[in-house]
Amino acid sequence: MNAISGLHEEALLAERLLARFAELGADPKGGITRPAWSEAETACHDALAEAAAARGLAVHRDAVGNLWLAPEGLGDRPAPACGSHCDSVPQGGNYDGAAGVVAGLLVALRAARAGIALRAVALRAEESPWFGAPYLGTRAAFGLLDPAELAQPRRGDGLPLAACIARAGGDPAAACTGRPLPEIARVTAFWEAHIEQGPVLLDRGLPAAAVTAVRGHLRHPAARCLGEAGHSGVVPRHLRRDPALAVAEFLMDLDTLWARQEQEGADLVLTAGMLSTEPDAATPTRIPGEVAFSLDIRSADPAVLGGMERVLAERAAEIGRRRGVSFALGRAVRAAPVALDPRRAAAIEAALPRPFAMASGAGHDAAEFARNGVPAAMVFLRNAGGSHNPAEAMDIADLMAGVEALWAAIRATGG
């Protein structure tokens, strides 16, 4: 096989597998639905295993149902792994996770041919809608599930997580031992290709990017601003305690700070996803008594998140005092940023036709490996149409650019 026909063969294999995954996940209501630990997810693993076996890889499933594909003769030796997940969100797209699983197979096939020790892996259950939490396949392999999580019903059919693992041929008890399964314990480094879930590569005209970190977040899912309701026509400005204008000022302060931080090169995104006056009481001629809102602030830099947390408290207090309202930011949900391995990220970036590195705003299995002390690296693939929806669109050529970068970086770093 020469290099050019080999590339053609890889691209055709990728296309064929992704088409098969699309068939297996086709949802009559639209888009792709491959629930975690479902028959559709298992069928994707099986299709992958069949393609791997046909090309000489050894097929193995761990005790919680993750699929491992290794060169014959690697045995139990430690080695890097490359892969991602096959499950999707309900009515999602075909490429989130699946692209990285296919890339993992292509990289493992190259490694087998080159005599380099490396396994491909298809992890279970990365998406959170099914059991209310993400990275369950990876966390289960690390032995880190809480026994209480096993009772969690699956969205859609309500089957408890334990039963789902068992039906897929796994042993739910193995997910909660606090000790990693032998397969994941052998992973010396984790490499993952994944579609970019935002528009950055599309906007920059780049096929792929190295990922430096997974952003952490500070989230207030249910913040409120409490003021005083009143007749819209009769209360002069200085006697109002208007929570709508107070929240508008609060958001504008945060937006202004965001713009300034971005100019200074800080990594930051900020979203008020929910905003609402009282649904039953609000009318155009009533000063609202209360505004509910949410905040989601993300950064790859813990110092930026910490700084924003202080700003939130300070601005809420100052605006509250001045406008006669009170902010109740409510429950805070925090996740620390996860740094990916800088040496491997640099190797991926250097291997790209046009070097570019960025932070990931969404979580990934790679971050879960990193949190468990395994060096992790990621390459993002250009993707149109956003993610978690049927419009996801990735070119096979961009997948192949990611595979090239991973492969070059694995050889350059020793894996």
Contact between 296 and a copy of itself by CB under 8 A: the answer reads: yes
Q: What is the amino acid identity at position 324? A: G
Asked if residue 235 binds a copy of itself (CB under 8 A), the reply is: yes
Using CB under 8 A, which of 59, 251, 257, 332 touches a copy of itself? Answer: 251
Q: Does residue 361 interact with a copy of itself by CB under 8 A?
A: yes
Which range binds a copy of itself by CB under 8 A, 38-46, 76-84, 257-265, 401-409? Answer: 257-265
Instruction: Report the alpha-carbon distance of residue 197 to residue 32 in Å, rounded.
Output: 16
Min. distance of Cβ 312 from a copy of itself in angstroms?
A: 14
Give me the amino acid identity at 246: A
Which of 15, 114, 146, 271 is close enough to bind a copy of itself by CB under 8 A? 271
> How far is 211 from 207, CA to CA, in rounded Å?
13
Q: What is the b/e burial string over 102-138, where b = at least 16 CB atoms within 10 angstroms of the residue's CB?
A: bbbbbbbbbbbeeebbbbbbbbbbbbebbbebbbbbb
Of 119, 108, 110, which Cα lies nearest the Cα of 185? 119
Q: Which of residues 362-381 bind a copy of itself (CB under 8 A)?
A: 362
Count of CB atoms within 10 A of residue 271's CB? 12
Instruction: Pick the closer one to a copy of itself by CB: 274 or 397.
Output: 274
Q: Which of 203, 205, 265, 373 binds a copy of itself (CB under 8 A)?
A: 203
Q: Which is nearer to a copy of itself, 117 or 200 (CB)?
A: 200
Span from 21-29, 175-183, 343-351, 360-368 in contact with a copy of itself (CB under 8 A):
360-368
- Residue span 139-178 as binding mask against a copy of itself, x where in contact by CB under 8 A, dash where not: ----------------------------------------
d(CA 83, CA 402): 12
**Taking CB under 8 A as the rule, does residue 318 contact a copy of itself?**
no
- The DSSP-derived string for 252-318 is HHHHHHHHHHHHTT---EEE---EEE-TTT--TTEE-SEEEEEEEEEES-HHHHHHHHHHHHHHHHH
What is the spatial distance between Cα 208 and Cα 137, in angstroms, rounded to a whole number?
26
Are 145 and 139 within 8 A, CB to CB? yes
Identify which of residues 208 and 295 has a Cβ nearer to a copy of itself in the complex: 295
Among the listed ranges 117-125, 152-160, 225-233, 305-313, the one in contact with a copy of itself (CB under 8 A) is 225-233
Q: Applying CB under 8 A, does 295 fall inside the site for a copy of itself?
A: yes
Q: Kindly state whether residue 360 participates in binding a copy of itself, applying the rule CB under 8 A.
A: yes
Q: Which residue carries 């780049």 as its tokens?
A: 206
Nearer to a copy of itself (CB atom), residue 87 or residue 183: 87
- Of 67, 23, 24, 26, nearest to 43 (Cα)? 24
Among residues 314, 300, 323, 304, the alpha carbon closest in space to that of 370 is found at: 300
Residues at the interface with a copy of itself (CB under 8 A): 196-200, 203, 215, 217, 219-221, 230-237, 239, 242, 244-245, 247-249, 251-252, 255, 258-259, 262, 269, 271-277, 279, 282-288, 291, 294-296, 298, 360-362, 386-388
